[in-house]
């Protein structure tokens, strides 16, 4: 079981603080968070300095920013709104060096102190498309069959919206059916199922078969005092 902390605020102090807690991964949210590239680079360094594993959710499925975050030292990339096989293949290509992909070589920060980075990067970097629309559900089996996908990550709010529900809905049969379909598909293809959640929802999501669960965030920790 992998537990994730979520960062939305551009602050290296909170990044390091969250990284020193008992999480397996600390993710930098560059899509909906307030974090741009110049903020994210020192946050990656702070997370690594604390002995934790930095991931990044990039703003979009675009190879430039995916490559830059990998070069900065991110160990996993969460890619939003991956709805088709072609989009899944593009995500994998951006995360992998040839012949497995098309990532450009220049690991400015990632290779610091790691002379074997090139030899190990394709195996050590996680490519994680987001499944968060009905279109992605329709194409789920084919998406999960794309070589190089390590995990998928469910965006519950966007998934709810495309199912005709309000964001945050957690008591709908159609939503529960969608989550089950994702978990079952991941089991079939040997892909790790992940989901955005909370501490309150963690047990329910774990019991539902999810193996990578976001359970806390910097904003949430501040709100709780």
| Cα pseudo-dihedral 72, 19, 198, 192, rounded to 10 | 50
Residues 6+ apart with CB under 8 A from 67: 94, 103, 104, 106
Output the CA angle 193-90-45, nearest 5 degrees. 70
Say how many C-beta atoms besides its own lie within 10 A of residue 64's C-beta.
Answer: 11
Whether 27 and 5 have beta carbons less than 8 Å apart is answered as yes
Whether 105 and 131 have beta carbons less than 8 Å apart is answered as no
Which of these is catalytic: 21, 24, 32, 204? 32
Is 196 marked active-site? Answer: no
> Would you name the residues annotated as active-site residues?
32
């Amino acid at each position: 079981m992998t537990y994730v902390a979520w960062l939305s605020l551009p602050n290296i102090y909170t990044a390091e603080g969250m990284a020193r807690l008992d999480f397996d991964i600390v993710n930098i949210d560059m899509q909906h968070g307030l974090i741009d590239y110049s903020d994210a680079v020192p946050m990656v360094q702070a997370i690594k300095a604390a002995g934790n594993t930095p991931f990044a959710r990039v703003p979009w499925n675009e190879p430039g920013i995916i490559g830059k975050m990998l070069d900065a030292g991110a160990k996993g990339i969460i890619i939003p709104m991956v709805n088709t096989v072609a989009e899944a293949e593009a995500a994998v290509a951006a995360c992998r060096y040839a012949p497995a992909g098309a990532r450009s070589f220049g690991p400015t920060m990632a290779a610091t102190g790691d002379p074997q980075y090139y030899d190990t990067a394709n195996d050590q970097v996680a490519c994680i498309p987001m499944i968060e629309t009905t279109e992605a559900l329709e194409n789920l089996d084919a998406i999960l069959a794309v070589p190089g996908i390590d995990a998928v990550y469910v965006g519950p709010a966007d998934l709810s919206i495309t199912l005709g529900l309000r964001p945050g809905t957690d008591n709908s049969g159609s939503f529960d059916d969608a989550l089950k379909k994702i978990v079952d598909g991941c089991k079939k293809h040997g892909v790790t199922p992940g989901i955005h959640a909370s501490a309150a929802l963690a047990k329910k999501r774990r019991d539902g078969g999810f193996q990578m669960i976001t359970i806390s965030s910097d904003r949430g920790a501040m709100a709780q005092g």
